[in-house]
Amino acid sequence: MKFIVEKEVFDKLDDVCFGIVVAKGIDNTQKIEKIQNLLEAGIKANEEKYEGKKVKESEEVACYRDAFRELGINPNKFMSSIEAMLTRVSKKKGLPSINPIVDIGNAMSLKYYLPMGAHDIDTIMPQDVEVRFSREGDKFIPFGETEAEVLDAGELVYAVGDKVRTRRWIWRQSEEGKIVESTKNIFFPIDGFKNSNYDNLMAAREELASLLKEIFDCEIKIGFIDKDNREFEID
């Protein structure tokens, strides 16, 4: 079981890169004060940082807005997940506490200004996870819904077989593979760029891996993907 980014993605976004954390043996059923505190600190820091400012004009999200335009995605209509999160927080709407894994991912996203996915590995196996352009007939079940959307070809997605896990690259995650209390094994991709936020990406990967090990005493594996190294063995 691998994480694979197809060559065509790098033809379009030359400096895109992906930090990877795999965690196995998680107990996602407990409320954990340390994670709650990290999330609350991230919310408070960004409420203050963006007070009186527009998130869409910030340096932190500029690289994602530029990439969306390069991909033919209107960033004003479809905000990247990190821009959407920061925009919500900047308006003092906070973020709900979902469960420890979702919360720790959100906390790290807010700290390092990076989009970070979280996928239940047990809903993927034995297939690969791919970042690729969609094909005719690919299907996506929006979060919280049951009916699938059928995609046209040419949209950048995270996919497992013909099932799309994230539409418009880092815009919206599917109902399939979402993190719930019973989730034990998780694949975290962190999306960034070598020429703009590489240091943040690597720091986020290291801190996430360290926190998961410390809090859950779980099995950890880390990795990295760029145009010279397009595959990673998840399991």
As a dihedral over the C-alpha atoms of residue 59, residue 87, residue 28, residue 186, rounded to 10 degrees, the angle is -50
What pLDDT does residue 177 have? 85
For residue 144, pLDDT over 90 is answered with no
For residue 117, pLDDT over 90 is answered with yes
Task: Kindly state the helix (H) or strand (E) to which residue 216 belongs, with its residue range.
Answer: helix 198-216
At 215, the pLDDT band (50, 70, 90 cuts) reads very high
What pLDDT does residue 107 have? 98
Mean pLDDT (the chain) is 97
C-beta neighbour count of 127 within 10 angstroms: 13
pLDDT in tens, 57-113: 999 999 999 999 999 999 999 999 999 999 999 999 999 999 999 999 999 999 999
Q: What is the pTM of this model?
A: 0.96
| Domain positions in the chain | 2-229
The CATH homologous superfamily to which domain 2-229 belongs is Phenylalanyl-trna Synthetase, Chain B, domain 3 (3.50.40.10)
- The Cβ-side half-sphere exposure at 38, using a 13 Å CA radius, reads 23
